[in-house]
Structure 1
Amino acid sequence: MTSKNHDTSRDGNEDAVRAAIASVYKGWADNDADAFVAAYGPDATATLPGSHLPSRNAIRATMAALFAGQLKGSRAQYEVQAIRFLGDDAAIVTSKGGVVLAGQTEPPAKEWARETWVLAKVNGRWQVEAFHNCPEHAA
């Protein structure tokens, strides 16, 4: 049995995957729901504690409402911890993220979450197909 080793630094895939995720967080920092979902595929899903959003439109509508309400003026911090490529056009990213509410300088320690992203390369562009997060620490 052989295994393929992908040189992601050579072909730019790792940088492109990181850029797609960074664009999501840039949209958050700007409290811009359209920019937030620009890197999401049309059928992307987001699963969060207590909710499942079945499409990019649902994710956009939810974030627009949150940016107008409880997340107004917020941003998120994140750390990509690993990127694993599944061939040339799919990647799984694990990260750690936390919400920084208006007036805060960093997320409270108990508010950090573990995140899993599934991205696909579609027409030469990396896009988010699925996002999942769960609390890093039990309540």
Structure 2
Amino acid sequence: MGSEYSAEAVQAVQAVFDTMTATWAEADAARFAACYSDEATVIGPGILLRGRDDISRSMAAAFAGPLKGSLRPHTTQSVRFLSDGRNAIVVTASETVLPGEAATPADRKHLVTWFLARHDDRWLIEANHICQA
């Protein structure tokens, strides 16, 4: 993972996913969406969200409805920094765990490709694409 960059650089990118996991568990749509840039794109099965506001609205509805009490852990598979060091491509194995589940069914296990960009001193998600694992 990110062998040409320092462990600190990889940890800074990983912190975005730690924040997303925590804010999902707290059902905090605004803080969750703050991990994304203003014009971010989210694409997945039946999903196309454009912009931080759209992501926040969608997550607020999901946290109040079908995803209430759920968890969304992300296990980083790879981190690759682009040549400028201000952009990164991350692949995660991610799953949505509903309350009371002992195991996550296959249809809620995903591989996700993320594109992150450094904005001043902060990494933000510019785009992600979700597919079945």
Q: TM-score, normalised by structure 1?
A: 0.88
The structural deviation recorded for 1:79 is 0.9
Question: Which residue of structure 1 aligns with residue 4 of structure 2?
Answer: 6
- Matches of 1:22 and 1:130 in 2, distance apart? 17
Question: Which residue of structure 2 aligns with residue 46 of structure 1?
Answer: 42
Q: Which runs of 5+ in 2 are unaligned?
A: none
The structural deviation recorded for 1:110 is 4.1
> What secondary structure is seen at the aligned counterpart in 2 of 1:74?
coil
1:112 to 106, 109, 114: 109
Question: Which residue of structure 2 aligns with residue 25 of structure 1?
Answer: 21
- Matches of 1:19 and 1:78 in 2, distance apart? 11
Q: Which structure 1 residue ranges, 4+ long, deviate > 4 Å from structure 2?
A: none
Percentage of matched positions with identical amino acids: 38
- Matches of 1:41 and 1:59 in 2, distance apart? 10
What CA deviation, in whole Å up to 9, does each residue of 1:34-62 have, x standing for no partner?
A: 12112111111100111210111101100
Matched-pair contact (CA < 8 Å) for 2:17–2:74: no
- Matches of 1:94 and 1:129 in 2, distance apart? 14
Number of residue pairs aligned between Structure 1 and Structure 2:
130
Q: Which runs of 5+ in 1 are unaligned?
A: none
Question: Could you say what the CA RMSD is over the residues aligned between the two structures, in angstroms?
Answer: 1.3
Question: Which residue of structure 2 aligns with residue 60 of structure 1?
Answer: 56
Instruction: From the CA coordinates, give the structure whose radius of gyration is larger.
Output: 1
